[in-house]
């Protein structure tokens, strides 16, 4: 059993102010594998006060001092990478191969990227008659989700520490094991007391306390659009900076000149990666009406190659969803697709027959989806693909943009210039052309209700910096 009963505050593990415990459930077995303490506003207050005290000295550390500490975090992370991967598989169900090759390694990348950016970043530059200086914003409250539990933590913690900020972190209470292990790595790396603090808890209690706390200068939140709106409202009273990465309903436009079979197969697998629990999943596949039947057959074949199973089995390509509530939400949306008249190509309602426990969902594809259906409008956060037909390029772009979300887009074409022209018209923070990889040095974030601000690379680094103008130096 995993004990996550203590919080990391002011350089030491400490008991919560009001002990309340929540079971940690393995989603593949539905068995309790540990318990996590749920914090209160009093715990956030202790952590924020520690972070405020530590900020005075940490913000003044040199580039070299911060690089040395970040380097030790990277070393500690690498040494424990297999363990971190295993913890994520246990807490949220990602297959162990995926946890090792993607979940853990991309989280490590954020610390490596913070080192790269910090090593060459110019914090001051002459401008006009003065100097533009960038300084750490202060105490940062970081609220992260369960779907990429360590990646999302690292994408915020790494640049925050690198810029000289101090941190109060609230990881997901559903998947707290990997964040606890990262806190141990940070402690062993010699991060000074108060610079990094971790308080477990739920959103309505700990998350809201972080968002509204007067000692916290910035809140960075990843989660649902509804929760992000609540965070922004709470943060407004103290006029703190808010950076958010929220929901998505990304369109994958397959143009008529693309390699249809290849594009459809890749799109199906991208939609089912991590059990479909990705904010930027290409869950709306747009195909030309003349290619509808061929696209359906290709999608049905692609679904047949997905191997559901024990996430600890290296051959498994899809594990369970994270929780009963997530399973129920996805089932309700699959049912709505059937009820609203979409054509069920593969999958469908109910747990796969070969499983009598675990939050497993059938990888599902619907065809003949119309833009007004729930499965075309709502973020499902599960392995469900909606295939929508279009008659012209302009119509495809219109359908892609007809959503309150704008996190990512995908375009497939044998003509790179044509793909680029379509990409320019998609209202989203990222657009992937022809199967391009997920580059974490490039900015990531959304338009519209998919959020504000950017993560990763230089853009993510600068989210944690204030801009100061100094005029009259040197003296004229």
Residue 128 has pLDDT above 90, yes or no: no
Exposed/middle/buried for 275, CB within 10 Å: 0-12, 13-18, 19+?
Answer: buried
Query: Model confidence over 158-210: pLDDT tens digits?
Result: 999 999 999 999 999 999 999 999 999 999 999 999 999 999 999 999 999 99
Q: Please indicate, yes or no, whether residues 419 and 467 belong to a single structural domain of this protein.
A: no
Three-state SS string over 200-264 comes to CCCHHHHHHHHHHCCCCCEEEEECCHHHHHHHHHHHHCCCCEEEEECCCCCEEEECCCCCHHHHH
Query: Model confidence over 213-226: pLDDT tens digits?
Result: 999 999 999 999 99
pLDDT number for residue 473: 86
Mean pLDDT of the residues in the chain: 97
Angle at which helices 81-92 and 63-79 cross, to 10°: 70
pLDDT number for residue 438: 85
> Domain range spanning residue 391?
251-440
Residues with active-site annotation: 245, 279
Q: Please indicate, yes or no, whether residues 126 and 152 belong to a single structural domain of this protein.
A: yes
Residue 376 has pLDDT above 80, yes or no: yes
Query: Model confidence over 241-281: pLDDT tens digits?
Result: 999 999 999 999 999 999 999 999 999 999 999 999 999 99
Q: Please indicate, yes or no, whether residues 285 and 233 belong to a single structural domain of this protein.
A: no
- The larger pLDDT score, comparing residue 129 to residue 450, is at 450
In a domain, 259, yes or no: yes
- Segment 419-433 shows an average pLDDT of 98
Task: Find, among 104, 90, 91, 228, the residue nearest to 154 by Cα.
Answer: 104
Q: Please indicate, yes or no, whether residues 303 and 363 belong to a single structural domain of this protein.
A: yes
pLDDT number for residue 475: 56
How far out from the chain centre does Cα 57 lie? 31
In a domain, 380, yes or no: yes
pLDDT number for residue 440: 83
Q: Please indicate, yes or no, whether residues 179 and 298 belong to a single structural domain of this protein.
A: no
Q: Is pTM beyond 0.95 here?
A: yes
Q: Please indicate, yes or no, whether residues 274 and 201 belong to a single structural domain of this protein.
A: no
pLDDT number for residue 173: 97
What share of the chain in percent tops pLDDT 90? 97
State how many domains the chain has: 2
The secondary structure of residue 146, as a DSSP letter, is: S
- The larger pLDDT score, comparing residue 97 to residue 437, is at 97
Q: Residue 167's domain is classified under what CATH number?
A: 3.40.605.10
Q: Residue 421's domain is classified under what CATH number?
A: 3.40.309.10
Nearest-angstrom CA–CA distance, 88 and 85: 5
Nearest-angstrom CA–CA distance, 165 and 185: 18
> How many C-beta atoms lie closer than 10 Å to residue 441's C-beta?
14
Nearest-angstrom CA–CA distance, 136 and 52: 13
Q: Please indicate, yes or no, whether residues 100 and 143 belong to a single structural domain of this protein.
A: yes
Task: Find, among 265, 271, 274, 273, the residue nearest to 284 by Cα.
Answer: 271
pLDDT number for residue 142: 98
Residue 461 has pLDDT above 80, yes or no: yes
pLDDT number for residue 455: 96
Maximum CA pair distance of the chain?
A: 79
pLDDT number for residue 476: 52
Nearest-angstrom CA–CA distance, 198 and 13: 9
- Segment 39-48 shows an average pLDDT of 98
Residue 236 has pLDDT above 90, yes or no: yes
In a domain, 201, yes or no: yes
Q: Please indicate, yes or no, whether residues 281 and 150 belong to a single structural domain of this protein.
A: no
Q: Please indicate, yes or no, whether residues 340 and 457 belong to a single structural domain of this protein.
A: no
Q: Please indicate, yes or no, whether residues 195 and 285 belong to a single structural domain of this protein.
A: no
Q: What is the DSSP string of 347-362?
A: --SS--TT-SSS----
Residue 412 tokens read as 């497939």
Q: Please indicate, yes or no, whether residues 220 and 283 belong to a single structural domain of this protein.
A: no
Q: Please indicate, yes or no, whether residues 73 and 125 belong to a single structural domain of this protein.
A: yes
């Amino acid at each position: 059993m995993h004990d996550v009963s203590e919080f990391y505050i002011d350089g030491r593990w400490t008991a919560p102010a009001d002990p309340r415990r929540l079971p940690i459930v393995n989603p593949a077995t539905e068995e309790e594998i540990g318990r996590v303490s749920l914090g209160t506003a009093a715990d956030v207050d202790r952590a924020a006060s520690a972070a405020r005290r530590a900020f005075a000295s940490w913000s003044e550390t040199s580039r070299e001092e911060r690089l040395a500490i970040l380097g030790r975090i990277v070393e500690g992370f690498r040494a424990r990478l297999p363990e971190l991967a295993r913890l994520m598989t246990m807490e949220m169900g990602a297959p162990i191969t995926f946890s090792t090759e993607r979940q853990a390694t991309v989280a490590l990348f954020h610390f490596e990227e913070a080192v790269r950016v910090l090593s060459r970043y110019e914090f001051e530059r002459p401008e006009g008659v003065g100097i533009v200086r960038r300084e750490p914003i202060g105490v940062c409250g970081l609220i992260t989700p369960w779907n990429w539990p360590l990646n999302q933590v690292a994408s915020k913690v790494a640049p925050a520490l690198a810029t000289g900020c101090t941190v109060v972190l609230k990881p997901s209470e559903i998947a707290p094991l990997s964040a606890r292990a990262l806190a141990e790595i940070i402690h062993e790396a010699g991060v000074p007391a108060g610079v990094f603090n971790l308080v477990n808890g739920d959103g309505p209690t700990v998350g809201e306390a972080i968002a509204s706390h007067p000692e916290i200068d910035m809140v960075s939140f990843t989660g649902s659009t509804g929760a992000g709106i609540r965070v922004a409202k709470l943060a407004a009273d103290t006029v703190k900076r808010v950076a958010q990465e929220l929901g998505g309903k990304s369109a994958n436009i397959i143009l008529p000149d693309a390699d249809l079979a290849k594009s459809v197969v890749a799109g199906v697998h991208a939609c089912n990666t991590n059990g479909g629990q990705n904010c930027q999943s290409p869950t709306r596949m747009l195909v030309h009406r003349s290619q509808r039947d061929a696209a359906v057959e290709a999608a049905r074949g692609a679904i047949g190659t997905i191997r559901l199973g024990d996430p600890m089995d290296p051959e498994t390509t899809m594990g369970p969803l994270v929780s009963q509530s997530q399973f129920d939400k996805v089932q309700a949306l699959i049912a709505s697709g059937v009820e609203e008249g979409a054509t069920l190509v593969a999958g469908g309602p109910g747990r796969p027959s070969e499983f009598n426990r675990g939050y497993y969902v059938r990888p599902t594809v619907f065809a003949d989806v119309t833009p007004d259906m729930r499965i075309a409008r709502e973020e499902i956060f599960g392995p469900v693909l909606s295939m929508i037909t279009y008659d012209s390029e302009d119509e495809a772009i219109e359908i892609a943009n007809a959503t309150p979300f704008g996190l990512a887009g995908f375009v497939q074409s044998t003509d790179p210039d044509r793909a680029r022209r379509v990409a320019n018209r998609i209202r989203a923070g990222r657009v992937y052309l022809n199967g391009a990889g997920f580059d974490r040095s490039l900015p990531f974030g959304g338009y519209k209700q998919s959020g504000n601000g950017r993560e990763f690379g230089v853009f993510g680094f600068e989210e944690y910096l204030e801009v100061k103008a100094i005029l009259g130096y040197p003296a004229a």
